[in-house]
């Protein structure tokens, strides 16, 4: 039985009801049929079906197309500070269990997958990097940050600082300002914003202020080990290397030669610093557009045994999906043409709009363009600190395929 309380309520369409019952937590503005009158931005609101039966409670956003982000379908839930602190502790306990010794550098909160919609927090030792993309959660972030500091403290970790990277375009859609900087929580904040971490036995310098996303791509943690396992004796080309993580794992795996390519000079400088930090002095770093570079390598008949393609997301909306798919196809076909029979291709997509079946179909078209066959060696996704929630397609965003050219 539903507890009596004073939250405003809205009714939604049968289509939206079906999505909620299937586990997806977003209510779109176009699916609300009644009750959306004077509701304070960021406040709690009950969601009802057309028969006025309770579906759940979420946070209201008056500017976003995602008008409500559901928090719970438990009619007796109390959405006080203890609720958000409890959700945060659940997230910490999950990472501590599934990440083991890798708990020192991992994602601690993964938005909707942890029941904390629009919130991302990564851990780099005793430094946290955070992003908040939801208006309602922006109002409640202090409770979450305090719970993280307290929860890690109970685990013997004193958080030195929380750096906020609130620069995502979704904040503007939520009516939130774009900003970045240290979150002040009572302790003196660090003076620097670049910190060392160790992942898979390799040391990196992570720039929480200027690095992409929150400073480092933690989701490829175990996929990089797959490259290390394959790389012995190989000539490796790492495209879109960013700060060099795949390239360094290839070097650590005993690659005969490693070339790392990126269009960003700043990223390459940090990648070179990471290589030097680990004593990998033979990696060649190249500043270039990846398409132009692969075309050049094809014309030169360059010899590689393993090519890694880990580009940024080519599409961030359904409208640009066809163009993005064409871009992925061209990129992969170029790599397939360069590789010899028996060579290996690692190819990735981090766009949730590019579903796994779409990505596989694109790879088959690329293979047709290149006139080669493909053997699937291994399929992987994000590491378990980036959990996938069944029913929320957006959480299953990272695709990683290891293929052999045959």
- Name all domains of the chain by residue range, CATH numbers in brackets: 9-72 (2.30.130.10), 81-192 (3.30.750.80), 217-405 (3.40.50.150)
106 is catalytic: no
Provide the 3-class DSSP secondary structure of residue 381.
coil
Provide the 3-class DSSP secondary structure of residue 134.
coil
Active-site residue, from 239, 240, 348, 350: 350
The first and second tokens of residue 344, run together, are 């290996």
120-162 per-position pLDDT tens digit = 999 999 999 999 999 999 999 999 999 999 999 999 999 999 9
Q: What are the angstrom distances between the C-alpha of 263 and each of 198, 219, 293, 340, 363? A: 25, 21, 10, 26, 24
Contacts of 87 (CB under 8 A, 6+ apart): 114, 115, 116
What is the chain's pLDDT, residue by residue, as a tens digit (406 residues)?
445 567 999 999 999 999 999 999 999 999 999 987 789 999 999 999 999 999 999 999 999 999 999 999 999 999 999 999 999 999 999 999 999 999 999 999 999 999 999 999 999 999 999 999 999 999 999 999 999 999 999 999 999 999 999 998 899 999 999 999 999 877 678 889 999 999 999 999 999 998 877 888 999 999 999 999 999 999 999 999 998 999 999 999 999 999 999 999 988 999 999 999 999 999 999 999 999 999 999 999 999 999 999 988 765 656 766 777 888 899 999 999 999 999 999 999 988 777 889 899 999 999 999 999 999 999 999 999 999 999 898 898 999 999 999 9
Which spans in 3-134 are helix H? 14-21, 81-99
Q: Are strands 235-239 and 306-309 parallel, antiparallel or unpaired?
A: parallel
The first and second tokens of residue 38, run together, are 């004077």
The DSSP string of 296-329 is HHHHTT---SEEEE-PPPS-SSGGGHHHHHHHHH
β-pair partners for 401: 347, 379
């Amino acid at each position: 039985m539903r507890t009596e309380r004073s939250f405003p309520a809205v009714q939604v369409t049968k289509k939206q009801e079906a999505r909620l019952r299937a586990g997806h937590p977003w209510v779109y503005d176009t699916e609300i049929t009644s009750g959306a009158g004077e509701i304070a931005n960021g406040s709690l609101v009950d969601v009802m079906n057309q028969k006025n039966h309770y579906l759940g409670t979420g946070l209201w956003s008056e500017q976003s197309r995602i008008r409500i982000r559901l928090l719970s379908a438990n009619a007796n839930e109390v959405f006080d500070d203890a609720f958000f602190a409890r959700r945060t502790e659940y997230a910490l306990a999950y990472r501590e269990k599934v990440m083991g010794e890798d708990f020192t550098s991992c994602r601690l909160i993964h938005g909707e997958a942890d029941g904390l919609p629009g919130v991302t927090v990564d851990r780099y030792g005793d430094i946290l990097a955070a992003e908040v993309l939801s208006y309602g959660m922006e109002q409640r972030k202090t409770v979450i940050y305090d719970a993280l500091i307290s929860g890690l403290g109970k685990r013997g970790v004193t958080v030195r600082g929380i750096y906020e990277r609130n620069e995502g375009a979704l904040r503007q859609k939520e009516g939130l300002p774009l900003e970045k900087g240290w979150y002040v929580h009572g302790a003196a904040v660090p003076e620097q914003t670049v910190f060392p971490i160790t992942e898979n036995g390799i040391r990196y310098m992570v720039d929480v202020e200027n690095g992409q996303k929150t400073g480092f791509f933690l989701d490829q943690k175990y996929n990089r080990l797959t490259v290390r396992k394959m790389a012995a004796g190989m000539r490796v080309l790492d495209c879109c290397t960013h700060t060099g993580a795949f390239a360094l794992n290839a070097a650590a795996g005993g690659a005969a030669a490693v070339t790392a390519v990126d269009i960003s000079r700043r990223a390459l400088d940090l990648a070179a610093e990471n290589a030097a930090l680990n004593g990998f002095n033979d990696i060649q770093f190249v500043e270039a557009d990846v398409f132009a570079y692969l075309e050049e390598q094809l014309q030169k008949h360059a010899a590689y045994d393993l090519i890694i393609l880990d580009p940024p997301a080519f599409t961030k909306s359904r409208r640009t999906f066809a163009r993005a798919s064409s871009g992925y196809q061209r990129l992969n076909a170029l790599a397939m043409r360069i590789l010899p029979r028996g060579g290996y291709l690692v190819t990735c997509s981090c766009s949730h709009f590019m579903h796994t079946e779409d990505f596989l179909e694109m790879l088959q078209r690329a293979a047709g363009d290149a006139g080669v066959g493909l053997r699937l060696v291994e399929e992987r996704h994000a590491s378990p600190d980036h959990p996938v929630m069944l029913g929320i397609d957006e959480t299953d965003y990272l695709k990683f395929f290891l293929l052999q050219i045959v």
